[in-house]
Structure 1
Amino acid sequence: MTSDPDQKLRIAYSPCPNDTFVFDALAHGRVPGGPALDVTFADIDLTNGMAERGEFDVLKVSYAVLPYVLDEYALLPCGGALGRGCGPLVLTREAGTDLTGRTVAVPSEKSTAYLLFRLWAAATVPGGVGEIVVLPFHEIMPAVRDGRVDAGLVIHEARFTYRNYGLHKLADMGEHWESTTGLPIPLGAIIARRSLGATALTGLADAIRASVRAAWDDPEVSRPYVLEHAQEMDPSVADQHIGLYVNEFTADLGADGYAAVRGLLTRAAAEGLVPPLGPDALSFP
């Protein structure tokens, strides 16, 4: 897959169950003909920065960072996270809180969640939200609960656990996106260096698809890898997480997947949130 067949591809993805489920077979050499991987685990806010600095061969990143990295990296048509009914949530202490002028905690300002939030706010908070505070993901719900911020934007397993903090769902960013576009929600992307070359990129995509299918065919094989890195997540929550974020779009973006990615980034560019995409920016390989 690289110029030296004995050299491993340096890849960075999150310890979240969907990523470890997807990459288990490939990372452990169970995909015939697949490349050897040198895996680094990092949350997506870190991998976004790694991509902007060009530090790895392959990365899982937020779709929101694509406009900043597509000169060097190609979007792979598989391995990422899109879906329906799996969008980020805005949480508050009190039901029905008006966010006009309020402080909102977000995990990153270069995330798909943030773009979806800003598009939602532009349509539903006419007076505009107030200060945006960036906090580590695990600190957001406690900050809302304790009154340090007025609302929080949360992702992933928080969909299943926010009630434990006594919080209320003010809005589902995914519901707003789906109802206004009819498209799936683009969350996380797999990108790889264009300098690997077309043959290697195509082979990598094929290997990732094979890894996904292997996990679907025998989920129990991936379970130890998933739970080892799931950060003390309850196994049933890990299963829910995989069920939401690993789906047909993980195996292949397809026409709807590409339309969702371009639709999100085009709308975000129109709001001045990201640079505009070139006409061939999403082409593969």
Structure 2
Amino acid sequence: MAYSPCPNDTFTFHAWTHGLVADAPPVEVTYADIDVTNGLAERGSLDVLKISYAALPWVLDEYALLPCGGALGRGCGPLVLAREAVAPADLAGRVVAVPSERSTAYLLFRLWAARAVPGGVGEIRVLPFHEIMPAVRDGLVDAGLVIHEARFTFHEYGLSRLADMGEEWEADTGLAIPLGAIVARRSLDLPALAAAARASVEHAWADPEASRAYVHEHAQEMSPSVQERHIGLYVNEFTRDLGDEGYAAVRGLLDRAADEGLVPRVAPGLLAFPGA
């Protein structure tokens, strides 16, 4: 299994990873940034992975979307940051750092930039997400697309928020923001894996102290208060179960992106959980 060392993932999967979920299949964990896990899924390298919803069109033949364990919500979208308060049009021809070209953040950014940046941005530079804000601060890039706890910490780098991709998406569509998906090989016992993921979420909520040391171990450069805010924002009812609203948001994102020619169109039924 692969997921990020970010607090929402370590909080969500602590119980499963540590054998605290009855009857859950044991897992060996690889911790990796989202750009890495997207690539692992495209190569079919692991059994269960946390990936970007934007990467789903390339992996759904081999992997199924689990209805729990992922990140989807409201008020939690990626941000575009710059050193100074500038208008979106000022990004025309500029260098923008992004965490992955297959990330949901980048997909939302492209949908937004097509409307807001006449002539389009210049170079897109992929960087690990924790390197993006320092790169903007130090003038190595003109702007950065950031995710995760950067919502809470960008002021520490002296940066300004140029746009909120989540606000733009919600205002435009009324849908929640799909961020990170949990996928598993279709050849595996998918109901058992989904049950394990859901039980792990519920265990984390029932006993949040149990995962505290594990979360902190993998987020040592993040203050405890930021860790708590991160978990509170990204681990929500959609993490326990996507439900109709969550699936509608995912379908809305992928359909709109396909309409714009940004991703392959997903065949009807491929998003549905097998046996549901």
What is the TM-score normalised by the length of structure 1? 0.93
**Does 2:70 correspond to 1:83?**
no
Distance 2:105 2:225 in 1: 24
Quick one: which of 269, 273, 276 aligns to 1:284?
A: 273
The CA RMSD over aligned residues, in Å, is 1.0
SS at match of 2:175: coil
Quick one: which of 90, 93, 98 aligns to 2:83?
A: 93
Report the residue type matching 2:105 in the other structure.
A
Report the residue type matching 1:57 in the other structure.
D
Distance 1:139 1:33 in 2: 39
**Does 2:95 correspond to 1:103?**
yes
Distance 1:232 1:126 in 2: 38
Higher mean Cα deviation, 226-235 or 181-190? 226-235
1:216-267 CA deviation, whole Å, 9 max, x = no partner?
Answer: 0110011111111114211111111000100000000011110111111111
What is the Cα deviation at residue 126 of structure 1? 2.5
The residue aligned with 2:259 is 270
What is the Cα deviation at residue 102 of structure 1? 1.5
Report the residue type matching 1:253 in the other structure.
L
What is the Cα deviation at residue 127 of structure 1? 2.3
Aligned residues: 272
**Does 2:244 correspond to 1:255?**
yes
Q: How does 1:65-144 map to 2 (within 5 A)?
A: 65-97=55-87, 98-144=90-136
Distance 2:155 2:228 in 1: 19
Report the residue type matching 2:119 in the other structure.
G
SS at match of 1:26: helix
Identity of aligned residues (%): 76
Distance 2:29 2:122 in 1: 39
Q: Give the ranges of 4+ consecutive aligned residues of structure 1 lying more than 3 Å apart after TM superposition.
A: none
5+ residue gaps, structure 2, are: none
Report the residue type matching 1:228 in the other structure.
E
Distance 2:28 2:60 in 1: 22
Distance 1:65 1:265 in 2: 10
**Does 2:195 correspond to 1:238?**
no
SS at match of 2:29: strand
The residue aligned with 2:17 is 27
**Does 2:144 correspond to 1:181?**
no
Quick one: which of 146, 155, 158 aligns to 1:166?
A: 158
1:182-205 CA deviation, whole Å, 9 max, x = no partner?
Answer: 111100000000011xxx201111
Report the residue type matching 1:242 in the other structure.
I
5+ residue gaps, structure 1, are: 1-10
SS at match of 1:37: coil
What is the TM-score normalised by the length of structure 2? 0.96
What is the Cα deviation at residue 104 of structure 1? 0.9
**Does 2:142 correspond to 1:150?**
yes
Distance 1:258 1:252 in 2: 10
SS at match of 1:38: coil
Distance 2:164 2:270 in 1: 29
What is the Cα deviation at residue 142 of structure 1? 1.5
Distance 1:146 1:230 in 2: 23
Distance 1:181 1:39 in 2: 36
1:115-144 CA deviation, whole Å, 9 max, x = no partner?
Answer: 000011112112211111112212211221
Distance 2:41 2:190 in 1: 17
Quick one: which of 34, 38, 46 aligns to 1:44?
A: 34
Distance 1:133 1:19 in 2: 26
The residue aligned with 1:12 is 2
